[in-house]
Each structure stands twice: as structure tokens, then as C-alpha cells.
Structure 1
């Protein structure tokens, strides 16, 4: 009979639990190898003749079990590849009670961005979801929390960072032994180590917590902003949770090659450099906001995730959804002028898009093993989860919601929890039926389309599940907390309705004729809205009365109806034509996004040229009026509006006037003239100039990449290389994928850039199919990057492309990206059908335009 560990879905028995790890690691950075010795203090609750630890590619030796003054050696040490475990078998049952296990082992650095790996000059760890087992033999599931006492032996002259402060630092021959303060109880995925020639800011104290931000020496000047964010948000988080920060010190460090955006290791947060380091004088506001949001997200995890931890990966969303929502909330408190909730709406759009597919998954779904856990790091877990929490907070009120969170934190401190624990705490604090609301939204995939039809002062509401594929239907309903906002003779009013059934009729409060009504006030609900024709017309003629988030939602919802075959693309274009004098950058971004899709996928040849001309006619006057040069002390909102218009007129409409304006400015910027381009215009201007650029410009970008310290600028030049449309330059860009120019972390973005290049797309797609194994290998096996490679293929356009992609992924599937494969194929299939259905309609609409 097969041993349970032969099943990849094997879970550790709970009868043996670790209390404390005391480990010494010796790292050989040149050989990329390590050795370790550790003692694990155990609690043995039931007799057993085996101990099962996680371990991947670790060679264990000299294992000793100690209890009651006696010691035993295992009769066998057997790795089990399927479950990534090592089984230690003893000749007789081990005694119950307190015990300890001594283990010595050796291993090698991981090739890729997981476990302990080399990132340029830095050695770093990345353990979430389940890669601590690549460095330590350990109980590598989140429910097995323990204290960790680590000593690390490394060559002298390097900075060594761990979860706690250094308590001992001694010389041992040509090695330096650094001992860190023992940690609080932590899950193994939150342990971290970073070694390299790093320099840090001076430590700054926040209510007794020293905070430092670290980078390579040539990037030290880019650490100030990330440090300031941490100093600003840490006290706000302590106040929100009503609990002090628990992990002694806070180090933030920029890692030169990193799979995710950042990782919330307790007391030692690691970041992709672009998510932490920037120069405030030259960074676009979007980059500053992104850094602030990521830093705050990771700091929120120090409570939600690190202090109170999920039991298993099916509740990963408890960590990620909460940190996502919390980051926007706290940064919005700190910088209200940034209007972070409008950015949140833009992020949420990706979750709405994904959740409209048949291949979506619930926020809380079944996760059977570590590989499936890796697939859970997506827009449903983060953005939909965050949106549902925001919706529940809106329903309960800010005060009761926060009190529920504080109760949850106090009750489950240092321990593990499941979703029901959170619902109970929130329901108890708010005296509301939270579980009914939460269970439907968290346990059920998809979301509703709410139809609103006004008849005098009576409003008919109905709901059914929204699918982006025309004709697909199912019978689910949700408890939908609908917030209505409307204007009548008494002014603008709000009214709340909990829509539990498929249909309901609501009598609107107030009096007189209803001038306009939106059925998702502030766009805080995770649902789409369909209006009848008169209702839509009232909104379209009163756009200025709507909040920016409501105008954005009006465009997004109407586009969703087009995708689902419930509205015509002509009606959407007529609506878009009403937004010519739109002044809000967030609404303009939504408008430009919708129009870019139509230009890129639903128009070809002459129609594409006509469509660009129509866009330039619609939005060009706004850019002309604003000009390219910002005024002294100009408001951020004006700068962002200009950037949106440059993207529309220069990027989407390919205006020759805009290109003529951008080209000399980019040239001056490349020569070091910092004021040649306002920072918010950099991405759009560099992109459009690259598209029309020559070999000399290509060489300039290529030469600047290795020596550019600013990660956002470096990435801008790298992605610009994929935008050149001269055929010989698209070929050169393709060749760069297999060179050091493209770091592992940037492989998926670079592939997406090549697939987005209209001139080079087909040649790259043909090459990608013949070199598929090489493309996949280029990710170093990083699950997030593998998923993004698959998602990038959604950039393809035609039915032939779709069939080729289906054949490729059937013949050579990527097991780590099964979910992404199903979702991308479903989405591309819909995009292809939409193209075939709507191209004639777009063509006919364009012919009708004056």
C-alpha cells in the first residue's frame, strides 16, 4: 500500500507540531550552496513511529530524536517527491510529550526566484506559498506556527538581514556569524534572509520600532520615499488595529530580481525594486502611488496574515483581500488628494473581467496542495476580495467594521483563523447578519448584473449572474447591498436597498420627477448595472452630476453589456462621444481603455485610420487647450489629465502632431534635461516615440538599461524596446529575451510587449510556438511568471491565433498555470467572437460620423 506522502495533496498530521526552530545556516555564495544544522523543539500528541518534514532537494544527515533523556536515530530517511516531504522512520513508536529533533543537511540555491536564490549581487529568500522547504527541513504549512532562532554564517563584508534585529555578530575565520533575535511565533513562509552589499537609511523610530529601507549602494538615493511611506502609515495601522506592531524592527529591502511585487516577511519586507525605490523629483504620480500602496499592503499584513494567520491556503484571501483593501484606505487617509479609491476601482475592473468568465473561481475555493495555492494569487483573491470587504464595510458602517476587526485580532493573536472567525467578529460588533452577506459573496463565484428600470417614483430592480459570453445564463442570486443615488425636486439623495431576491420594487424617497438615477452610488458595489434606454439617456445628459467613479462605471458597465451581446457597440460609441470635454483623469483612463480595445481589435485597415481620426477629433482639442508644458505649482489632477490625453491622442490615435511634440522632448530627456518632459508624460511619450523610432534610438535605450539606477526608468526603456515597429527592430527585440538585458522578473512583461507589437506580433508568435520550452524555461519555473506568460497570449487577436494557442497548450501544457490557461483561452475565444461580431458594426458606425 502506498504511503500517504506519495499523494501530492498530502497534508501534515497535526499530532506532531513544532514549537521552536534553532538553526545555523552556512552560505557559500560562490558555489551557490548551503549547509545547516537545527534543533526543532516538538510537541508529540500521539504515538507515531515517523516524523514527516517538508524538504525539496535537501540532503539530510545526522538526524537525532531526543525525549526524556533518551535519543534515537531514524531507521530510514526517505524523500517523497510528490508531496515534497522527507519521512523519518523509527523502529518503534516515539513517546508523547515534549521532544526535540536535531537535523543536519546540505542543499543548493534554487535556480529561479524561489527558496534561497541569487538576485544579481544579492542572495535572498522567497518562501510564500511553500518554498521554505527549499532551505529548511521544516513543517511548511501555515498552521504550524513556531518561534525561529537563526544564526547565519556568510563571507565578511556583506549586509545580513533577518526577521529580527542582530543580537550577536562574531568572526569565525573568514566567515561572519550573525545571530538574530528569536522571532514571535511565525509560519514558515514568513521567515526571510537577505545577504548582499546593501546600504540602508538611518534607522528612524516609530513608537519604539526602528524602521530602515535598504538598497544596493548605487540605488541608495532612491530609498527615501519608501522609508517616508513606512513612517507615515505604521502609526495609522497601529491605530486602526488597536494593537502595536509586533515584530521588533522593520526593514524594507529592494531585491534586484523578484517574482512578485513584494513579500510581507515579518520584520523584513522584500520588494521588487520598482515597488519600493524611486526618485520623487522624476517619478510619475502613478509610480509614487504604487509604491505607497505596496508598502502599506505589506505593512497591513504584519497584522492580517503574520499576527493572525490563515489555517490553510484556501483562506489566503483573508490575508490578501484585507491587505488590498486596507492599503487603499490608509494611503487615502495619508494623501486624500491622490483619490486612491478611484485607483481601487481601476484595479477592481480586472477582477470583474475575470469573474465574468465560466472558468472563474470563488474568493474562497478549494486548495488541495501548494501548487494550487500558487494559482490563488490572482485578481479574484486580491481585488474582488478587497471589493467585497469594502462593500461589507459600507453596509455595516466604518465604526462597527473596525471594532469587528479589532475583536478578531485580539481573539486570534499569535494563532490561526478561518473565514468564519472573521464573520463572527464582524457580526458580533455590528449586530448585523454579516455571515449571510459574506458567505454568498466569498463562497460563490461570479457577480450579478442588476437591471434598474424607473417608472415615475417606482424603481424595478432585478438581478441575474453576469457572464461576458453572450447567451450563457445561470440562476444564482446574491444579497446585493444596492446604494441608489438620484436627483429629484428635493435635491440629490441616497437610498440603501438589500436586494435579496431575483426581483424587487423600491419606492424612492423624496418627491417630484427623478432627473437621473445611478444604482451603484460611488461605484462601491461589486456588480454591473444595466439601465433601460430612458434611464441611460438621463445619465448621459447629466454626466457632470455624477461622481467620477460613477461616470467610469457607466462606461465600464455599458462596455460589459456590449461584450455580453446585450447592447450594441454603436450605442457604446455614441455614449463615449459624450465624454469629449471630460476633465477627470480616472474617467479619461476608462474611456481611453475602451476606445483602445476597439481600435486594436474591432477595426482594421481604413476603419482603423478613421477610428483614430475620430478619437483625435474627440479628445485632441482638450490636449491642445492644456498643452504639453505644465505650469508652476500645477495640481496633480491637471498633470494626470494631460497624461491621459497624451495617451489618447499620441498613443491611441497616433497623432502626427503629438509625435512631433513628443520626439524632441524625449531626445532632450535622454540627454539629461530633466524638465523636458513632465514626469507623468514619460511612459506615453517614450512609448509613442519608440514605436516610430529608428535603430539609433533603439541602441540608446538598450545602452541605458544596465546603468540606469531608477527601476521605473529602467523598466520604461526595457518595455520601449518591444514597441519599435520597424521590422528589423522588432526582430532585434525578440532576440533580447534570451539575454541578460531581460531579468527573470521581467520575462512575462517583455513577452506581453512583443505580443502587443502589431508589426512584430505574428513573427514573434511563430517563434514563440517553436521555442515554447525555452520561453517557459526563461521564467526559472516561477509560478506567477508562468501564469503571466499564459495570460500574455490573450494579446492575440484572430481565430487562427486562438486555434494555435489551444493546440500549443494542449500539446505542451503548463501544470502551474491550469487556471490561467482555462481563463485566457475562454477570454480570447470571447474576444475573437466579439471581433467577428462587431467589426461590421464599428465600420458602419464610422461611416455615419460627420
Structure 2
């Protein structure tokens, strides 16, 4: 912990703590500037001659320290940009006890998407990890919780939202003066303000908590679904935690330009519009599920994060992993037919891929400053963290796990906690060695590959760390909570094993011949499985008796073994060939994802054409049987299966027949016929028609996109513009990135879309290298967006590309994306090597086919 303010790793001294901020902020929306004044109630536990506050680009005016009758002014006020602090020095030590600091300041709206910024007509704040200091001089670390009493002065005619309810709204000269109810104890990163021409749904209550959802007027009709989700899940969350909601009301707001997906500010949750607003009549189910999951994630944070808060950013994962896991659990209770845990498995796949790299990081790692905290918002923190919690819950049982969570909430109410506090509470409730299990999984990066050999009723298990790079070995082991699911003459059984050593043999309970064995039953374990040939054959012959999640794991694990050169690609292709009659949409999604990678990266020319025809012969029959049109009252699962098959046959295999069927349907949809295409087919159909589209279609999408109120439709048209493969149109799409057409929040996905365009890729990559600084500037230096831009370069394919990416990132390092840079370069190097090694094997396999 650094004590000098001249060090960017500086941490505030704990001898001085804020108890309450009473702040008034006056916003000049036209001039994009503000002035502020506040009284900060302080408590000093030892005398000090200086007070250190965080402040970033704020101009401090008059400052007064008051304790009883003792009133003083600082003798110097020194801003320290490296630690984003201001040091107030006094001529004599300040007394121990309670005091007040009066501060006046002024500042400007932030460029980019953090601090207080302009998102079109809306002024909004985004403070996590450490940008409250761009609006208030404050103690901007999560351990410094205080009450916040905020008043805002703004021009009339705007909706004004804060963490608390509005308790006073009165004219103040030419301005309006809006006073919010004082908050509970909050860390500064959870304070929020939103001002703009927003329209809210009528107020409704969930167990007495008022809920409203807000959007720009032209999008107000899209707010009801997000409102309904909040009303449905709030009571379920109160019930799970055994604690009432603490922040008085819930406002949810769609912000027109937003860096992350959403932010859990206490009582005032802000969202990227696409994560909140939709029309259920036209929204694909994937979009509805995503909105439900994000809303629930942010509401879960109101307890886990806002009520009990981490001490420092190294425990950020506690907030995020918990909210990730909780969202799936609660939405699954509310809508069991959505089978949310299969979506969770798909998200977990990204964490398994990242965690198999040498450049991964543990879930709980050292974080020296708020900038490094920003790098922690990744798949390891969210998805691996959530998967490990799910694995621990699976091992302890749902009841004891929930009791442990409730105990943790009671013990640390309104306060801060560290990871060991959670393990202790879980261990106390479950009477199990939680700490051993958790510490190994949270503190150690990577995960095991468990190899399985079945002889009679003996299962030989060995484990070692799994790396996606061939030939890399290391000796770590984990306590692996395994569920062995198997079938014998008496039926299907489950046996739980905590596998701690590097190898062991487990005797299966029961008698008779074992027909098949799945070594990650229900697929809740965060590990990969390598079956010895005979065990794999038995599983492949009994696919129908495996759960969908187990079929997904079988495909994913086989592919992972191909990548790491522990299995030939023929193993995956032969296995994939057995899924021609697969009816489960989640399994089809996994299958299509794996095959799409092979088509785009491991085949060229004639082989690519052969591969596409093989995919079409494998899955085309399924699509013919279903057809394009959904019947009235058709179950969601059938509609989703159709969508997966259209992605396979039309998107991946580029079937001319399927494209010919899609064209008139897309044309009808664009003419306003909402019945032309099932909502779940829209993304794929528009994308594949655009890919082969002409200038007239390009112009139509370009014209519609900015005016489209539905954020999911707007995004569909925006991404379709990156898909056109006519060289003249790919050039036009590339020019759009540097225009106002693409919002800041969409820069990374648009740039990545262009890198995925096969005809435009090389020209775009050449341009991107020349205009790199411009592209970085277009992100407004938003760290999450910068990371996504870097990750997008992983779509490049050749060894020459790899060398160019390395050179570009070495010449122009991005400090906010050091991890993403290392991970992208490592993964791209593996992809390039895989292509060189495996393409000939794919070619040989295709030639062996009749």
C-alpha cells in the first residue's frame, strides 16, 4: 500500500474518515460545466496536518476546516495528478474527533463515458471504479462509506434522478433546485445522477418498493419489459437474502451512450439501452433473456456490493461473481422454461478459454490502483467467479449455501468485507471445509484437465493443469468437486467425489456393467475432461441419454483437446457428425460455434466449399423439416432450434437456397411487415442478406439505423453494415467508423465487425494500423472499449498478421489494456499455430468422406 501521493498506487490513510457528504451541484448543461459546494462531516482518529481528498480535473476554491469553535483555512492546496488527489496542508495539527470540511469547486463534464458526461441529450454519471472524483472532491475508495445528501441545481424542463427519492423540487432563480433523500452508507462509486428529457413508466411497487423505468421519449414504449423484470425479481431477491431492499426506491434508466452493460448505483441503476429497452413482440428471446439477466444482476448488487461492500478492488470479483451467479439463479426460478443455466454454460466457455492461457490471472489477484481495477472486469472475474460459486453451491447443497450467504449479509450489514469473511460464513453454515476449496480456486489461476479411464467399475482419475498451448506442463492440482454420472443395469446414478490428489481410483457404487460414464455430471464443474478412447466411444453412442449441458461439455472438451494437440481434429469432426438429429437448441448453438471456427479459420478454397456442403448435409434436413415460418403458438424452443439451424445452413454453410429464401423475407420485414420473420431469425437473416447485398440495401440500412428507436434493431442494422462483402461497400463501412454515425459505445464492436469481414479484412487492417491513434481516440479512452478493440484483433488469421499486431501494440502500448494485450497476442499465436498444424488434417478428413 503506497503512502505517498506522488505514487499512483497511493491509498488514503484510514485515520481520517468521512461520515456524511452534504453537497450541492449546479449543472450548466449547455456549457457542459458545473460548480459545487459541500460540507463533509469527518472523524479524525489521530491528529494530522493534512487532509487528502481525491479530485480529478477539479478546480478547488474556498476550503474551511471546522471543529467546534476552531475554524481554519489550509496554508496550501496542492493538486497531485499522478494519484488524482489534492493535498490540503494546515499550519498546525488538526484535533482528534468530529469535524466538518467546507469545500467549493468547479469542473467540466468529462470527455468519454465516465465521471459526469454528456450522452446525447442526457447528462449521466459513471463512477466505478474511481471516477466520483471527477465530480466531487471525495474519499474515492470503497472502504470509505458515508451518507450522501445531494442537491442539484439545473435548468427547468428536465427529469432529474438521484440515488434517493426527490424530497424537494423548487424554483431557484432561473434554475430548479432538486433535493434528494439522504442515502444509506455508500461507497463513492455507487453515487449517481442522471438529468435529461427522460420519460418514466408509471410507478409500481414490489413488496412496498417503488419501481420506475426511464427512457428517452421516443423509446418510452420499450421500457415495460425491464420494469416487469424488476418487479418480478425484487421479491425473489429479498427472499433469498432474507433482508429487505435497503435503498428506498428503484429507478432504472436507459442511457443513450454507455461504456459497460449497466451499473448498479444504489437506487438508480443505469443501463446501456440495449441491455434494458425492448419490445417483447419483436425482440429475439436471446435479447429478452439478456435484459432479464442484466436487470437481475444489477438488483442482486443492491445487496451484494452495495449493502455489503468489498474493502478494496482486489475483491471486486466478490461483487461481480456473486451477481453473475445470482442473476442466473433468480431468472431461472422466474422463467424455468428459459433454461438459463445452459446460457450460463455458454458464458462459462469464455472463462475456460481465457483461463487456459499462460497470461490468465487468478480470480483474486493483487490490484494496486483503481486503473488496475478496471482491467479486472473480465470473464475470469465474472464467469469463472460465478462458475466457482456454483460449483461450491453444488458441493455444499443449496440450503446450507443460502444460510451462509444470509449469515454473511447480517454480519457485515452497511459495512465492508473481504473474501475470507464469505468463506467463514459459508463454512460455519455448511460445516464443510469451504475455505480449502475456495482458496484453491480463487487464489490459483487456471483449472484442471481430468483424464478418465473406466475399467469394469473402477474409474481411474488423473489431473493436471490444462493449457490451450500444446506441450505446456505444470504440476498444480486442485480439490476438484466432481459429480460422476453413469448408467448400469439398474439405471442412472450419481456419485460425488472430492478429488484432491494428482491421481486416484474411484469404485462406482452398485453392480454390473457400466454402459457409459460422464465425469462432469450436470456440467457444473469448472474443469475439462479427457476420456480414454473406449469411454469416449460409449458416450458418443449414448448421446441421447446425456443431459444437454453434458452434450455441450463433450463437444467443448473434445475441441479443447484438439486445440492443445491432445486429440486429432478427426475426433471432433466424427463426434460432430453424430449430432445431425440434435433437437436441443443450446447444443446446436455449441455445435455451430465450433463448426464456424473450422470453416472460417481452418479451411480455404475448395476445402472450405467442401466443408460448407458437409455442414449443409448434416443440418440442412433439420431446417427443411422446420421451414422458415413459425406456426402460431409454437414453443420458444422450436423457434430457437430453427434460428440455430438458419445460422448453420444460411450463415455458416452459405447455402444459396437458404439465402434465396431469406431475401424476400428481409425485404418484407424492412417494408414494415412484422410477421415476415420470426424475431429469433432477424440477426442471422439480416446479416446474411447484407453479406451478399447491394448499394441500395446498404443505403437503406444506413438511413434507418440512426432513427431506429429499438436499440436491438439499431444494433442489428449497425452490425449488418460491417457485413457487406462487395468491396466498394466494405470501403464505405470502414469510413463510417470515423464519423458521427457510430456512437462511442459501439466503436469496438463496429471495428471488430469490420475485421471479421472476409473481403474487407486486409484493407481494413492496413487502414487500422495507419489510423490506430484515431481509433483509440474514438473510444474516448474508455478502458472497457479499448480492451474490446484489442481483443477484436484476435480475428486476424495469419502469421504475418500476428507479427503486425505485435509490432502495433509494442509501438503504441495501451496501459489500460495490458492484460487484454497479453491475452490477445497469446490466443492469436495459438490460433495461427493451430491453423498451420490442423488445416491439412481437416483437408484429409474431408477427402476421406464419400
**What is residue 458 of structure 1 aligned with on the other side?**
458
**What is residue 114 of structure 1 aligned with on the other side?**
114
Provide the C-alpha distance between the structure 1 equivalents of 2:766 and 2:72, rounded to a whole number of angstroms. Answer: 60
- 2:143–2:312: 8 Å Cα contact kept in structure 1? yes
Query: Matched residue of 2:168: which SS?
Result: strand
Query: Matched residue of 2:49: which SS?
Result: strand
Question: C-alpha displacement at 1:68, in angstroms?
Answer: 2.1
**What are the superposed Cα offsets for residues 577-609 of structure 1, whole Å, 9 maximum, x if unpaired?**
000110001000000000000001001111111
**What is residue 763 of structure 1 aligned with on the other side?**
763
Question: C-alpha displacement at 1:3, in angstroms?
Answer: 8.0
**What is residue 420 of structure 2 aligned with on the other side?**
420
**What is residue 281 of structure 1 aligned with on the other side?**
281
Question: C-alpha displacement at 1:69, in angstroms?
Answer: 1.2
Aligned pairs for 1:10-409 (under 5 A) are 10-409=10-409
Provide the C-alpha distance between the structure 2 equivalents of 1:84 and 1:470, rounded to a whole number of angstroms. Answer: 44
**What are the superposed Cα offsets for residues 619-669 of structure 1, whole Å, 9 maximum, x if unpaired?**
000000110000111011100000000000000000001100101000000
TM-score (norm 2): 1.00
Provide the C-alpha distance between the structure 1 equivalents of 2:78 and 2:735, rounded to a whole number of angstroms. Answer: 44
**What are the superposed Cα offsets for residues 653-705 of structure 1, whole Å, 9 maximum, x if unpaired?**
00001100101000000000000000000000000000000000000100001
Provide the C-alpha distance between the structure 2 equivalents of 1:756 and 1:200, rounded to a whole number of angstroms. Answer: 39
Provide the C-alpha distance between the structure 2 equivalents of 1:652 and 1:770, rounded to a whole number of angstroms. Answer: 32
TM-score (norm 1): 1.00
**What is residue 733 of structure 1 aligned with on the other side?**
733
Query: Matched residue of 2:291: which SS?
Result: helix
Query: Matched residue of 2:5: which SS?
Result: helix
Question: C-alpha displacement at 1:571, in angstroms?
Answer: 1.3
Provide the C-alpha distance between the structure 2 equivalents of 1:75 and 1:601, rounded to a whole number of angstroms. Answer: 65
Question: C-alpha displacement at 1:743, in angstroms?
Answer: 0.5
Provide the C-alpha distance between the structure 1 equivalents of 2:733 and 2:69, rounded to a whole number of angstroms. Answer: 66
- 2:3–2:10: 8 Å Cα contact kept in structure 1? no
**What is residue 533 of structure 2 aligned with on the other side?**
533
How many residues are paired up? Answer: 849
**What is residue 665 of structure 2 aligned with on the other side?**
665
**What is residue 639 of structure 2 aligned with on the other side?**
639
**What are the superposed Cα offsets for residues 553-596 of structure 1, whole Å, 9 maximum, x if unpaired?**
00000000001110001111011000011000100000000000
Aligned pairs for 1:328-727 (under 5 A) are 328-727=328-727
In the alignment, structure 1 residue 749 sits paired with structure 2 residue 768: no
Question: C-alpha displacement at 1:740, in angstroms?
Answer: 1.6
Query: Matched residue of 2:588: which SS?
Result: helix
Question: C-alpha displacement at 1:779, in angstroms?
Answer: 0.3
Query: Matched residue of 1:4: which SS?
Result: coil
Provide the C-alpha distance between the structure 2 equivalents of 1:314 and 1:686, rounded to a whole number of angstroms. Answer: 43
**What are the superposed Cα offsets for residues 10-41 of structure 1, whole Å, 9 maximum, x if unpaired?**
00000000000000000001000000000100
**What are the superposed Cα offsets for residues 531-557 of structure 1, whole Å, 9 maximum, x if unpaired?**
000000000000000000000000000
Query: Matched residue of 2:550: which SS?
Result: helix
Provide the C-alpha distance between the structure 1 equivalents of 2:415 and 2:373, rounded to a whole number of angstroms. Answer: 20
Provide the C-alpha distance between the structure 2 equivalents of 1:96 and 1:3, rounded to a whole number of angstroms. Answer: 20
Question: C-alpha displacement at 1:174, in angstroms?
Answer: 1.4
Provide the C-alpha distance between the structure 1 equivalents of 2:788 and 2:114, rounded to a whole number of angstroms. Answer: 16
Give the unaligned 5+ runs of structure 1: none
**What are the superposed Cα offsets for residues 475-507 of structure 1, whole Å, 9 maximum, x if unpaired?**
100000010000001100000000000001000
Provide the C-alpha distance between the structure 1 equivalents of 2:73 and 2:726, rounded to a whole number of angstroms. Answer: 68
Provide the C-alpha distance between the structure 1 equivalents of 2:768 and 2:46, rounded to a whole number of angstroms. Answer: 54
Provide the C-alpha distance between the structure 1 equivalents of 2:46 and 2:823, rounded to a whole number of angstroms. Answer: 44
Query: Matched residue of 2:707: which SS?
Result: coil
Provide the C-alpha distance between the structure 2 equivalents of 1:69 and 1:462, rounded to a whole number of angstroms. Answer: 72
Question: C-alpha displacement at 1:427, in angstroms?
Answer: 0.2
Question: C-alpha displacement at 1:707, in angstroms?
Answer: 1.0
Query: Matched residue of 1:314: which SS?
Result: helix
**What is residue 801 of structure 1 aligned with on the other side?**
801
Change (3 A) 1:637 1:3: closer
In the alignment, structure 1 residue 826 sits paired with structure 2 residue 831: no
Give the unaligned 5+ runs of structure 2: none
Provide the C-alpha distance between the structure 2 equivalents of 1:844 and 1:60, rounded to a whole number of angstroms. Answer: 71
**What are the superposed Cα offsets for residues 90-138 of structure 1, whole Å, 9 maximum, x if unpaired?**
1111111001100000000000000000001100000000000000000
Question: C-alpha displacement at 1:463, in angstroms?
Answer: 0.5
Provide the C-alpha distance between the structure 2 equivalents of 1:617 and 1:570, rounded to a whole number of angstroms. Answer: 18
Provide the C-alpha distance between the structure 2 equivalents of 1:358 and 1:46, rounded to a whole number of angstroms. Answer: 46
Provide the C-alpha distance between the structure 1 equivalents of 2:522 and 2:633, rounded to a whole number of angstroms. Answer: 29
Question: C-alpha displacement at 1:205, in angstroms?
Answer: 1.1
- 2:3–2:13: 8 Å Cα contact kept in structure 1? no
Provide the C-alpha distance between the structure 2 equivalents of 1:559 and 1:524, rounded to a whole number of angstroms. Answer: 19
Question: C-alpha displacement at 1:759, in angstroms?
Answer: 0.4
- 2:385–2:442: 8 Å Cα contact kept in structure 1? yes
Provide the C-alpha distance between the structure 2 equivalents of 1:316 and 1:425, rounded to a whole number of angstroms. Answer: 18
Query: Matched residue of 1:245: which SS?
Result: coil
Provide the C-alpha distance between the structure 1 equivalents of 2:527 and 2:200, rounded to a whole number of angstroms. Answer: 45
Change (3 A) 1:271 1:65: same
Provide the C-alpha distance between the structure 1 equivalents of 2:728 and 2:92, rounded to a whole number of angstroms. Answer: 71
- 2:215–2:253: 8 Å Cα contact kept in structure 1? yes
Provide the C-alpha distance between the structure 2 equivalents of 1:516 and 1:627, rounded to a whole number of angstroms. Answer: 35
Provide the C-alpha distance between the structure 2 equivalents of 1:546 and 1:77, rounded to a whole number of angstroms. Answer: 68
- 2:3–2:12: 8 Å Cα contact kept in structure 1? no
Provide the C-alpha distance between the structure 2 equivalents of 1:725 and 1:665, rounded to a whole number of angstroms. Answer: 20
Provide the C-alpha distance between the structure 2 equivalents of 1:194 and 1:811, rounded to a whole number of angstroms. Answer: 39
Provide the C-alpha distance between the structure 1 equivalents of 2:459 and 2:749, rounded to a whole number of angstroms. Answer: 46
- 2:3–2:11: 8 Å Cα contact kept in structure 1? no
Q: CA RMSD, aligned part only? A: 0.7
- 2:201–2:212: 8 Å Cα contact kept in structure 1? yes
Query: Matched residue of 2:632: which SS?
Result: coil
Provide the C-alpha distance between the structure 2 equivalents of 1:36 and 1:738, rounded to a whole number of angstroms. Answer: 35
Query: Matched residue of 2:526: which SS?
Result: coil
- 2:310–2:318: 8 Å Cα contact kept in structure 1? yes
Provide the C-alpha distance between the structure 1 equivalents of 2:333 and 2:425, rounded to a whole number of angstroms. Answer: 25
- 2:36–2:106: 8 Å Cα contact kept in structure 1? yes
Provide the C-alpha distance between the structure 1 equivalents of 2:685 and 2:566, rounded to a whole number of angstroms. Answer: 37
Question: C-alpha displacement at 1:210, in angstroms?
Answer: 0.5
**What is residue 842 of structure 1 aligned with on the other side?**
842
Provide the C-alpha distance between the structure 2 equivalents of 1:694 and 1:511, rounded to a whole number of angstroms. Answer: 66
